[in-house]
Amino acid sequence: MNIIKSLGLKQVINGSGKMTSIGVSTASQKVAEAVKEGTQHFVEIEKMIEAVGQVIAQETGAEDGCPTCSASAGISIAVASTIAGENLTLIEKMPNSEGLKNEIIIQKGQVINFGGSESQMIRLGGGKVIEVGSSNVVEYEHIDEAINERTAALMFVKSHHVQQERGQSLETMLSIAHKHHLPLILDAAAEEDLKKYIALGADIVLYSGAKAIEGPSSGFIAGKAKYMAAAKKQYKGIGRAMKVGKESMAGLVVALREYHNKFHDPEEQIKSMTIVCDLLNEINGLRCTVKKDDAGREIYRAQIKVNAEKTGITARKIYEKLVSSDPAIYLRHHFLEQGIISIDPRTLRSGQEKIIVHSIKSIITGENRDG
């Protein structure tokens, strides 16, 4: 039985990438089998967390790791680990951190909403959010001068959601943090390189286990041993409300071990999206170009600019009609107000790009208009 159909849900064609709102990613057969096996056995959870932490360390080059139920949970757990450490009394007080070193310094333009609020995840971990600079400019001094006796950590967010025009780099944030003997927490939820940031010297790096890794719903933290020990201890505190299950850990381990053998060919992405653009550029009012990922990852998407005066329909209306169709078609829509929608090739199955092109053409030519 198809559980999706049995719930009365539509099939989804995912041309938007690895987005939480539509299920993030799909797992390989080996990952799915590991999840199934995980549900069918008992295990000592604390020891499994330790063992999975070692796998995370092996795959990231970190001293240790900590599995989580999601990347957003990883933010809260990471923050709590820098405030409460391994002190059980303090751990049980979180997120009430009054009187403790609890300030988390973050550049204003990096306080994003990824479907949830970055600042709320920090607060859930007991952190007091200290935004520095302005949304378009953050100087070195803004960060350095914000550090005081209440500072627990600095935080850096690597995400396509960040629209910081003139912010300070990760390397600069690291140098400031370490000059003051403070840890730097890096939110790298959707990043594809699992070793880069540990090698650069980040103390705590958190990832999604379901995005680039293509594991089950999960996340993980990698970093310095003392912070990972503290992170795991948070499962006696706030982590209990966001505990990671044995089945998710089992699937995450297999996904991590498979990951270094996976290769998404950028040239193939460019080739397939160029074909899509060539077809869409035949439509009056559309201008399609192949664009590299805004966050600098080796991901190439078809970016479609809609001239509503020529097409007679806005990008927003096209997007809404695609989503309401059956199957529902989801494209990237971060810049809808600028008349832009994009197609991400990573999550498409063979032939689905043709369905997307046909659907867009049908909407614009009036075959799928409401009038």
Whether the upstream peptide bond of residue 327 has omega within 30° of 0, thus cis, is yes
Q: How far apart are CA 176 and CA 170, in angstroms?
A: 10
> How many percent of the chain have pLDDT more than 90?
74
Is the pLDDT confidence value at 368 over 70? no
User: What is the band of 164 on the pLDDT scale with cuts at 50, 70, 90?
Assistant: low
Where residue 371 falls among pLDDT bands split at 50, 70, 90?
very low
Give CA–CA dist 73/122, Å, rounded. Answer: 10
Structure tokens at 331: 């494209």
Q: Are strands 340-343 and 64-68 parallel, antiparallel or unpaired?
A: unpaired
Q: Tens digits of per-residue pLDDT, 18-69? A: 888 877 788 889 999 999 999 999 999 999 999 999 999 999 999 999 999 9
Q: What's the pLDDT at 317? A: 95
Least confident of 55-59, 73-77, 342-346: 342-346
CA 87 – CA 252 distance, rounded (Å):
28
pLDDT computed for residue 31 by the predictor = 93
Q: What separation, in Å, do the N-terminal and C-terminal C-alpha atoms of the chain show?
A: 38
Q: How far is CA 182 from CA 84, 148, 276, in A?
A: 14, 11, 48
Phi-psi region of 181 (alpha: psi -120 to 50; beta: other; left: phi over 0): left
Is 287 a residue whose pLDDT tops 50? yes
List Cβ neighbours of 206 (8 Å cut-off, separation of 6 or more). 68, 71, 74, 75, 78, 185, 186, 187, 188, 189, 219, 220, 221, 222
Query: Alpha-carbon distance 301 to 344, whole Å?
Result: 5
* Gap between the Cα atoms of 279 and 347, Å rounded: 20
The pLDDT, as a whole number, for residue 367 is 52
Residue-range domains of the chain with CATH: 3-21+263-365 (3.90.1150.180), 42-259 (3.40.640.10)
Residue 22's pLDDT is: 78
Integer Cα distance of 318 and 364 in angstroms: 8
Mean pLDDT, the chain, integer: 92
What's the pLDDT score for residue 263? 64
What's the pLDDT at 242? 96
Give start and end residues of each alpha helix (H) in 201-300: 225-233, 246-259, 266-280
pLDDT of residue 314: 94
How far apart are the C-alpha atoms of 78 and 51, rounded to whole Å?
19
Would you say residue 145 has pLDDT above 70? yes
Q: How many Å apart are CA 242 and CA 191, to the nearest integer?
A: 22
What dihedral angle (degrees, nearest 10) is formed by the CA atoms of 269, 270, 272, 277?
130
What stretch of H or E contains 222?
Answer: strand 219-223
- Return the sign of the alpha-carbon dihedral for residues 56, 162, 126, 198: positive
What's the mean pLDDT in 344-365?
Answer: 91
Stretch among 97-101, 263-267, 360-364 having the lowest mean pLDDT: 263-267
